[in-house]
Amino acid sequence: SEKINGNGSARPLDVAVVGGGIIGVMTAIGLRRRGINAIIYERAQTWHEVSAGFAFTGAARVWMQSIDPALVELLANISQKTDASSSNAYWNGYHPRTVEDALDESKSLLFRTPTNNLSFWGCVRSQFLKGMADMLPEGATVFGKQLLNYVDDEQSGKVVLHFKDGTTAETDVLLGCDGIHSVTRKVLLGADHPASRAGFSHTVTYRTMVPIDVGIKALGEKVATCACNHLGPNADLLVYPVMSGTLLNIAVFAYEEPDFPDPDRMTVQIDRTDIKKLFDGWSPQLADIWKLYPEKVVKWGIYDLEANPPPTYAEGRACLVGDAAHASTPYLGVGACTGVEDALVICTLLESVQQKALSGEALKEGLQDALQTYNAARLDRGRWIHHHSRQMGQMYHWRYGPTGRDPERMKKKLEENWSAVVNYDIFAELSPEVRELAMGGQVAPVGA
> What residues are labeled active site?
207
Q: By CB under 6 A, tell whether 159 contacts ligand FAD.
A: no
Taking the complex as a whole, the smallest distance from the CB of residue 132 to ligand FAD amounts, in Å, to 11
Taking residue 344's Cβ as centre, other Cβ atoms within 10 Å add up to 24
What is the residue-wise DSSP string for 95-109? S--SHHHHH-HHHHE
Question: Segment contacting ligand FAD (CB under 6 A): 19-27, 279-287, 370-378, 425-433?
Answer: 19-27
Question: Segment contacting ligand FAD (CB under 6 A): 13-21, 307-315, 386-394, 439-447?
Answer: 13-21
Taking the complex as a whole, the smallest distance from the CB of residue 325 to ligand FAD amounts, in Å, to 8
Q: By CB under 6 A, tell whether 21 contacts ligand FAD.
A: yes
Non-local CB neighbours of 247 within 8 Å, separated by 6+ positions: 209, 210, 211, 212, 215, 241
- CB nearer to ligand FAD: pick between 102 and 421: 421
Q: By CB under 6 A, tell whether 179 contacts ligand FAD.
A: yes
**Residue 162: what are its φ and ψ, rounded to 5°?**
-115, 125
- CB nearer to ligand FAD: pick between 43 and 364: 43
Amino acid type, 111 = F
Of 172, 236, 323, 341, the one binding ligand FAD by CB under 6 A? 323
Taking alpha carbons only, the member of 278, 328, 322 closest to residue 302 is 328
DSSP state of 340: H
SS3 148: strand
Site mask for ligand FAD (CB under 6 A), range 281-320, x = bound: ----------------------------------------
- Spatial distance between the Cα atoms of 158 and 147, rounded to a whole number of angstroms: 16
Question: Segment contacting ligand FAD (CB under 6 A): 15-23, 109-117, 186-194, 371-379?
Answer: 15-23
Max Cα–Cα distance, the chain, nearest Å: 75
Taking residue 3's Cβ as centre, other Cβ atoms within 10 Å add up to 14
CA 145 to chain centre: 23
- Residue 248: strand pairing partners: 210, 241
Question: Segment contacting ligand FAD (CB under 6 A): 94-102, 273-281, 307-315, 326-334?
Answer: 326-334
Cβ 370 vs Cβ 376: under 8 Å:
no
Cβ 101 vs Cβ 108: under 8 Å:
yes
- Spatial distance between the Cα atoms of 73 and 300, rounded to a whole number of angstroms: 33
Residue 298: left (phi > 0), alpha (psi -120 to 50), or beta? beta
SS3 90: strand
Of 39, 75, 252, 334, the one binding ligand FAD by CB under 6 A? 334
Residue 320: left (phi > 0), alpha (psi -120 to 50), or beta? beta
Q: By CB under 6 A, tell whether 178 contacts ligand FAD.
A: yes
Size of the site for ligand FAD (CB under 6 A): 30
Stretch 41-70 residues interacting with ligand FAD (CB under 6 A): 41-44, 54-55
CA 66 to chain centre: 19
Q: By CB under 6 A, tell whether 278 contacts ligand FAD.
A: no
Of 13, 15, 16, 23, the one binding ligand FAD by CB under 6 A? 23
Q: By CB under 6 A, tell whether 183 contacts ligand FAD.
A: yes
Q: By CB under 6 A, tell whether 337 contacts ligand FAD.
A: yes
Q: By CB under 6 A, tell whether 237 contacts ligand FAD.
A: no
- CB nearer to ligand FAD: pick between 177 and 349: 177
- CB nearer to ligand FAD: pick between 21 and 93: 21
Site mask for ligand FAD (CB under 6 A), range 369-398, x = bound: ------------------------------
- CB nearer to ligand FAD: pick between 330 and 366: 330
Locate all alpha helices (DSSP H) within 315-359, ordered by sequence.
323-326, 335-355
Q: By CB under 6 A, tell whether 322 contacts ligand FAD.
A: yes
Taking the complex as a whole, the smallest distance from the CB of residue 360 to ligand FAD amounts, in Å, to 29
Q: By CB under 6 A, tell whether 336 contacts ligand FAD.
A: yes
Taking residue 235's Cβ as centre, other Cβ atoms within 10 Å add up to 25
Taking the complex as a whole, the smallest distance from the CB of residue 120 to ligand FAD amounts, in Å, to 8
What is the residue-wise DSSP string for 159-191? EEEEETTS-EEEESEEEE---TT-HHHHHHH-T
- CB nearer to ligand FAD: pick between 54 and 94: 54
Given the rule CB under 6 A, which residues bind ligand FAD? Answer: 18-24, 41-44, 54-55, 145-147, 177-180, 183, 322-323, 330, 333-337, 339
